[in-house]
Amino acid sequence: MSKLWGGRFTKKTDQLVEEYTASIAFDQALAEEDVQGSLAHVTMLGKQGILSADDVDTIKDGLHRVLQRIRRNDLEFSVSDEDIHMNIEKTLIEDIGSVGGKLHTGRSRNDQVATDMHLYLRRRVVEFVQLLAKLQEALVGQAKANLDTILPGYTHLQRAQPILFAHHLMAYVSMFGRDIERLQDSYKRINTLPLGAGALAGTTFPIDRHFVAKQLNFDRVYENSLDAVSDRDFILEFLSDASIIMMHLSRLSEELILWSSTEFRFIELDDAFCTGSSIMPQKKNPDVPELVRGKTGRVYGNLMGLLTVLKSLPLAYNKDMQEDKEGMFDTVKTMQGALQLFAPMIATMKVSKERMRQAVNQDFSNATDIADFLVGKGLPFRQAHEIIGKTVLYCIQEGKYLLDLKLEEFKQFSQLFDERIYEVLQPEQVVNARNVYGGTATVQVSDAIGRAESELALV
């Protein structure tokens, strides 16, 4: 059989042009969605009396057979049929004969491909919400096991104030919670049906777009046929959401890599998630977080790629838009891999409470608390800050930490000090003193864990 659009042509397509313009190598990933959309379309054509009931039955049977062959992996796609839509239509016509040619009545590949993409992303978004929730679960699990683990919190990667390790992990739970919200919000726009827009202007057939939407579980249809076939915002939104998710994963990756270095030794990733070196026998490398950090780049790239493709495109469909697919598939695959690995990697990591504690005992991260102590005695904060700055400088010169100072030494800096500061300076005290909503005090973090668990139960 010749090309489905061959009528107007007198010459064969150049072989290189066929290869260059074909998308079948990658859009075959849309095969299921394409059949799903066609089944709903042809059912509507029957209901509207545009096709006879017999024709509709024959076409539906044929489409189901195509679907089975797709699932059995027994469909040979050909480059000369360009894309998944024409490959499937051609297979259908080969199977049921010329009645198969009635399927495309009142439809264009332009609204068809857009519909397939909506169906595809709709399913993926639901899967990603689940994967993110799994990761949150793993983080919450580690947080619960580390409600008594204190480590230095950092700003500028310099020791700042002690915090609970659970509090640090729960920050990521919040971040991934926003990612879930963003995906759920984008669902509204993903779940809008373009089919029925035709090539760009609608169709002369008395179709029922709302009936198709209902069959395919779309909440609504596009208001404007030009917009329906030109819009790729929903893919951009997904790629943006994915970029933010990967950015979060990459920040966590960076911390896991730092924490598992000999310099920190705060955590140890399970052997199952690390690899060795071909030359250095002692090595255990955190390849998974490193690769996730690296692959974040390609996910950003896919977003920039599509933004750039769409910039300046006139309405409505342009072949440029075929470039929306590979980046999207790549982002789906890259992010799936990262999220699938992250949940078990977090769940199995070993946390060294002792190393973290040791670090807290050997720093000045409790300095703010003695400043606050002096404020409690009536000193303005700025003056207290200055006094403690001098005290810390003295400690550094003497090779001591604040808890090593004798009360007389403290008193050289202010007569307001008394022996209660030794209690104030204890890491547990420092942590639990931050008893504000969202703070690092044990009661607050344990409340936060409770709230996260009840939200997770809803996902």
Of all helices (H) and strands (E), which one includes residue 193?
strand 192-193
Closest to ligand ARG by CB, 23 or 440: 23
Identify the residue among 41, 109, 134, 293 touching ligand ARG (CB under 6 A): 109
Taking the complex as a whole, how short is the minimal distance between the CB of residue 72 and ligand ARG, in angstroms?
Answer: 24
Question: What is the DSSP-derived secondary structure letter of residue 219?
Answer: S
| Tokens of residue 158, six digits | 């310099």
Interacting positions 81-100 with ligand ARG (CB under 6 A)? 83
Contacts 24+ apart (CB under 8 A), 121-128: 121/190, 121/234, 121/235, 121/238, 121/328, 122/187, 122/190, 122/191, 124/238, 124/332, 125/183, 125/184, 125/186, 125/187, 125/190, 125/238, 127/336, 128/183, 128/245, 128/335, 128/336, 128/339
Closest to ligand ARG by CB, 322 or 334: 322
Closest to ligand ARG by CB, 25 or 304: 25
Q: Which amino acid is at 150?
A: I
Interface segment toward ligand ARG; rule CB under 6 A; list 54-62, 108-116, 147-155, 290-298: 108-116
- The catalytic site residues sit at 156, 277
Taking the complex as a whole, how short is the minimal distance between the CB of residue 48 and ligand ARG, in angstroms?
Answer: 24
Give the residue among 278, 330, 322 at the shortest CA–CA distance from 301: 330
Q: Which amino acid is at 256?
A: L
In angstroms, the CA 444 to CA 442 distance is 5
Interface segment toward ligand ARG; rule CB under 6 A; list 49-57, 107-115, 129-137, 393-401: 107-115
Identify the residue among 23, 186, 243, 442 touching ligand ARG (CB under 6 A): 23
Taking the complex as a whole, how short is the minimal distance between the CB of residue 78 and ligand ARG, in angstroms?
Answer: 14
Interface segment toward ligand ARG; rule CB under 6 A; list 105-113, 308-316, 344-352, 380-388: 105-113
Binding of residue 110 to ligand ARG (CB under 6 A): yes
Taking the complex as a whole, how short is the minimal distance between the CB of residue 214 and ligand ARG, in angstroms?
Answer: 25
Give the residue among 435, 438, 432 at the shortest CA–CA distance from 451: 438
Closest to ligand ARG by CB, 113 or 133: 113
**Cis bond before residue 22 (omega within 30° of 0):** no
Taking the complex as a whole, how short is the minimal distance between the CB of residue 172 and ligand ARG, in angstroms?
Answer: 37
Phi, psi of 219 (to 5 degrees): -75, -25
Contacts of 89 (CB under 8 A, 6+ apart): 4, 100, 103, 104
Interacting positions 294-333 with ligand ARG (CB under 6 A)? 317, 319, 321-322
In angstroms, the CA 393 to CA 351 distance is 32
Closest to ligand ARG by CB, 113 or 195: 113
Taking the complex as a whole, how short is the minimal distance between the CB of residue 144 and ligand ARG, in angstroms?
Answer: 47
Interacting positions 111-150 with ligand ARG (CB under 6 A)? 113
| Tokens of residue 63, six digits | 């489409």
Closest to ligand ARG by CB, 117 or 140: 117
Closest to ligand ARG by CB, 114 or 441: 114
From the centroid of its chain, how far is CA 99? 44
Taking the complex as a whole, how short is the minimal distance between the CB of residue 23 and ligand ARG, in angstroms?
Answer: 4
Q: Which amino acid is at 393?
A: L
Interacting positions 186-215 with ligand ARG (CB under 6 A)? none
Q: Give me the DSSP letters along 406-442.
A: -HHHHHHH-TT--TTHHHHTSHHHHHHT--STTSSSH
Interacting residues with ligand ARG (CB under 6 A): 23, 27, 83, 109-110, 113, 317, 319, 321-322
